[in-house]
A = this chain, B = another copy of it.
Amino acid sequence: LTGEGIPGPPAAAVVTVGDELLMGESVDTNGTWLAQALARVGLAVVGRWVTGDVPSEIQRTVRSALDWAEVVVVTGGLGPTPDDRTRESVADLLGLALEEDEELLERLKGRFRARGYGHLPEKSRVMALVPAGGGVLPNPLGAAPGLVLETPEGRLCVLLPGVPAEMRAVFLDGVEPFLRFRFEDRLQGVVHRVIHTAGIPESLLMTRVEELLAEGSHGVSLAYLPDLLGVRLRLTARASREADDAEARLTRVEDRLGPLLEQHGYQAETGDLAETVGRALLEGEETLAVAESCTGGLISKRMTDLAGSSHFFRGGVVAYANEVKSGLLGIPEEPMMREGVVSEWTAKAMAEAVARKLQTSVGLGVTGIAGPGGGSPEKPVGTVWYAVWHQNRIFARRELFLGDRSAVRARAAHATLWMLLRVLEGKDP
């Protein structure tokens, strides 16, 4: 794999450690994420393993993985409990003595104090142990840091914590920059571009895409990735080492898809429509208030997931009981009961009332039947009315969302944000 003429991209393997993964009690999402991340950086993923918490099995697996790959990423088993055996097992396998790292120990102690737990328990000290010569990758979200070890043959063994958010953070902050530096000119990225779409089902999207790309797709392959909230369209081009025109080819294809994207696409780095909506609100110096019934706080939650949302989000009312709609929002009860709690009138009244109460330029109102109970022949489970009030203009739509309670809620929140984006962009909502 190394040193023969022009070396190809480094081979990488992923090992996830944990009895609960091995026995199938948890799904190995860490392994999936890491394989994707390594491929994105430009390594060639050649194998994945799942192993239990037993040192001899960890060692056998890591040994095997190091035979196959130049870079082995191991996740899980770095914590302080007796079933966390990865650190010692791998150190032992590689013949490296474990040494206590002063700085790391101080950081652990500080962490414990900061949380008000008093002294660091004796057992937690293992998290300050570093195999001789190993590099430490700080963990911004938890106690156990990542570790980078090198074998005498120059292969790399990276140990990461198993808590998914921590694993991802240590990879992105520490491992990825390190791999980019170390393998610089050998990385051979598969370049992806993901286009997010909303308001169009997969089969129609595919038909439209095929029409627009009838003349060819410039060696760019397409994948349709549907989920509850929409369909992501993934464009993939493999970077050639001679001339890296992969990005240019992707752009050519994206340009050809222009008319479709104008109508159904949105740009979001995180893939979250809320990000796009937040940006549009900021740019338009708009302020937002939300009145939710069936979505029960989900829209407010999605908007306040965004850092800096206090610049545009003022507040919301979760009007679950009818008395809250009339009481807190001041919606008159008589017309609401006449028109129906799930109705165009009520959705519009909620959107306008919350905007006026909270003195914002935009108000959202959502009312519907998320199920499993509460449906009727005229208004079956999944029926949702949603409305956008924007500076004295108002828009509303009724939809029947399919799926279970959580799907209906997720889709209703998404559709409401999509309508808001269209309104803010001055397009036909």
Contacts and interface: CB of A to CB of B under 8 A. Distances in A.
Interface of A: 19-29, 31-37, 39, 45-53, 57, 60-61, 64, 68, 79-83, 111, 114-117, 121, 123-124, 140-142, 163-165, 169, 190, 192, 201-204, 206-207, 222-228, 234, 236, 290, 292, 295-301, 303-305, 307-310, 313-321, 323-324, 327-328, 357-359, 371-374, 399-400, 402-407, 409
Given A23-B35, A23-B190, 16 more contacts: A22-B45, A22-B46, A23-B39, A24-B31, A24-B33, A60-B68, A114-B402, A115-B399, A123-B207, A140-B404, A300-B318, A305-B406, A310-B374, A315-B324, A324-B358, A327-B357
Contact of A117 (B163, B204, B404): B204
Given A140-B404, A207-B121, A358 B321 contact: yes
A247 to B, nearest CB: 17
B315 A321 contact: yes
Each complex incorporates copies of this chain amounting to: 2
Nearest to A80: B203
A359 B327 CA distance: 10
A222 B83 contact: yes
Contacts of A164: 227
A264 to B, nearest CB: 14
Contact of A81 (B64, B206, B321, B372): B206
Nearest to A304: B296
A373 B163 CA distance: 25
Nearest to A315: B324
A373 B311 CA distance: 12
Contacts of A227: 163-164
A357 B371 contact: no
A418 to B, nearest CB: 15
Given A68-B60, A226-B79, A24 B34 contact: yes
Nearest to A205: B81
A206 B80 contact: yes
A391 B280 CA distance: 43
Contact of A317 (B20, B308, B315): B315
A328 B316 CA distance: 10
15 contacts: A20-B234, A22-B45, A24-B34, A24-B36, A25-B234, A26-B225, A27-B28, A81-B202, A121-B203, A140-B403, A290-B318, A297-B298, A297-B299, A327-B357, A328-B328
A51 B46 CA distance: 7
The 6 A-B residue pairs with the shortest CB-CB distance in the complex, in nearest-first order: A296-B304, A297-B300, A24-B35, A24-B36, A297-B297, A315-B324
Given A24-B31, A39-B23, A304 B318 contact: yes
B207 A20 contact: no
Contacts of A123: 203, 206-207
A296 B300 contact: yes
B83 A223 contact: yes
Nearest to A308: B373
Contacts of A406: 165, 305
Contacts of A316: 297, 317-318, 320
Given A203-B123, A223-B53, A224-B79, A321 B328 contact: no
A82 B314 CA distance: 45
Given A328-B317, A402-B114, A402-B115, A202 B24 contact: no
A415 B71 CA distance: 39
Nearest to A16: B48
Given A296-B301, A316-B317, A24 B32 contact: yes
A127 to B, nearest CB: 9
Given A141-B404, A203-B123, A50 B48 contact: yes
A114 B400 contact: yes
A208 B352 CA distance: 54
Contacts of A34: 24
Contacts of A52: 45-47
B307 A372 contact: yes
Nearest to A161: B226
